[in-house]
Amino acid sequence: MEKHDHSHDEFFMRRALELATLGRGHVSPNPLVGCVIVRDNQIISEGWHHRYGGPHAEVDAVQNLTDKGLVAGSTVYVNLEPCSHFGKTPPCADMLVEHRPARVVVANLDSNPLVAGNGIKKLRAAGIEVITGILEKEGRLLNQRFFTAMEKGRPYIILKWAQTADGFIARQNHDSKWISNVYARQLVHRWRTEEDAFMVGGRTAAHDNPQLNVRDWTGRNPVRVVIDRYLRLPGNLHLFDGTQRTLCYNVLKHEERPNITFVRLDEDDLLLNLLHDLHRQKIQSVVVEGGTTTLQLFIERGLWDEARVFTSPQHFGKGVSAPVLHGTLTEQIWVATDLLQRFRPLPV
């Protein structure tokens, strides 16, 4: 079989992936997409998907050209297959066909059943050469939230906690402030701007009274999610102050209030029902912040995609033990005095 040198294609695709990251925290439930238009081996325009409901990356890149005629005969690099259906915006595949590039280079096919190869078919039917699979692995990693939602029918789940050097997540009185340092806490606030939702269990809500909003960073607040199976939490908690969208999952009632929804679920397999409901509401990523019982439930069910664990130099001696996690360590970095470790589930 003839081998092709795709080093040039990889170079420009890396730029498209880099541009795509600029949409993080703004485009969900859409994927992160960047686009680069190249003529004579030179980038003549760039674009990315800036916000949900706004122009897609391909449209943004074309709009950034003063002379739209330069697209004809060019090569368009885009990390996700151009869409082929009408959603918030018209189909990008149709727009590209209209502008007649010579080649379109794609990292990943779209798992959305409304697209799923149809964008590629439209381009090829119009006589445009299409190359797929360029930096495919990097593209899937970038859009792992989108692909998880499309392929597994649930959000991408990140487990997050801070523990002491001797393995405790809270003191005996359930006080967990402050295990991690100020820089680690600022990083968590940045994550809150990047992920769709943050979740806590009922005990953590009662003991910590968390706000789950963004204070030490700039960006949107996440959706707050709390599991209060029998509706025992007091109404004066920060979670119920109505300042940001909040979902309270329980087995007793469904009720709508301003910015707060009580969602009644079947108690049989409540956790999976909860994740399916989040998926139905187009929430693509959830950070589970605690406590140990809730985190351990996700771990035991195998319902997690990534874990982020801060370990501080503090020692409690006794207290509430941290969750027990069996996973593959993928990264570890120091955040001042705290060690941040990232884990993935063990291969099945």
The pLDDT tens digits of the residues spanning 281-296 come to 999 999 999 899 999 9
Q: Are residues 163 and 271 in the same domain?
A: yes
**58 annotated active-site:** yes
Phi and psi (nearest 5°) for 179? Answer: -80, -50
Band of residue 6 on the pLDDT scale cut at 50, 70, 90: confident
User: Which residue range is the domain that position 76 belongs to?
Assistant: 7-149
Question: Is residue 329 annotated as involved in ligand binding?
Answer: no
In the chain, alpha helices (H): 7-20, 57-63, 92-99, 118-125, 136-142, 144-152, 182-194, 202-208, 270-280, 292-301
212 labeled part of a ligand binding site: yes
Q: Is 176 annotated as a binding residue?
A: yes
- Tell whether 198 is covered by a domain: yes
For residue 224, is pLDDT > 50? Answer: yes
Checking if the pLDDT of 150 tops 90, the result is yes
List 58, 81, 195, 306, catalytic entry:
58
Is 195 in the same domain as 207?
A: yes
> Is residue 164 assigned to a domain?
yes
Would 2 be classed as within a structural domain?
no
What CATH number corresponds to the domain at position 213? 3.40.430.10
83 marked ligand binding residue: yes
pLDDT score of 44 more than 50: yes
Q: Which of 121, 149, 177 is at the close of a domain? A: 149
The answer to whether residues 201 and 271 belong to one domain is yes
Residue 329 and residue 52: Cα distance in Å, rounded?
A: 33
Classify residue 317 as exposed, middle or buried by CB count within 10 Å of its CB (0-12, 13-18, 19+): exposed
215 labelled binding-site residue? yes
164 and 309 share one domain: yes
CA separation, residue 186 to residues 92, 191, 245, 336 (Å) = 38, 9, 22, 12
Instruction: List CB contacts of 202: < 8 A, sequence separation 6 or more.
Output: 226, 227, 228, 229, 232, 233
* Domain membership flag for residue 1: no
159 with 145, same domain? no
What are the Cα distances from residue 39, in Å, to 34, 64, 252, 342?
17, 15, 61, 40
Domain co-membership, 141 together with 164: no
- Percent of the chain clearing pLDDT 70 (strictly above): 96
Look at residue 204 and tell me if it is in a domain: yes
Residue where a domain terminates, one of 149, 177, 209: 149
Q: Are residues 141 and 170 in the same domain?
A: no
- Look at 86-95, 138-147, 202-211, 334-343 and tell me which has the smallest mean pLDDT: 86-95
* 84 and 194 fall within a common domain: no
Same domain, 330 and 203: yes
CATH code for the domain of 114: 3.40.140.10
CA neighbours closer than 13 Å in the CB half-sphere of residue 202: 12
Distance CA 32, CA 50 (A): 9
pTM to 2 decimals?
0.92
Instruction: Among 149, 180, 205, identify where a domain stops.
Output: 149
Mean pLDDT score of the chain: 93
Please indicate if the annotation marks 92 as binding a ligand. Answer: yes
The residues facing 248 across adjacent strands are: 226, 262
How large is the average pLDDT for residues 126-138? 96
Is 203 within a domain?
yes
Using a 10 angstrom Cβ sphere, with 0-12 exposed, 13-18 middle and 19 or more buried, the burial of residue 193 is middle
Q: What is the pLDDT of residue 3?
A: 47
* Residue 22 to residue 78: CA distance in whole angstroms: 14
Q: Is the same domain home to 213 and 278? A: yes
C-beta neighbour count of 49 within 10 angstroms: 26
Per-residue pLDDT band for 172 (boundaries 50, 70, 90) equals: confident
129 and 25 in a common domain: yes
> For the segment 243-273, what is each residue's pLDDT rounded down to a tens digit?
999 999 999 999 999 999 999 999 999 999 9
Q: Which helix (H) or strand (E) element contains residue 310?
A: strand 306-311
Helix (H/G/I), strand (E/B), else coil: 345: strand
- Total domains present in the chain: 2
Whether residue 248 is annotated as binding a ligand: the answer is: no
Are residues 48 and 180 both part of a single domain?
no
289 annotated as a binding-site residue: yes
- Radius of gyration of the CA atoms of the chain, in A: 23
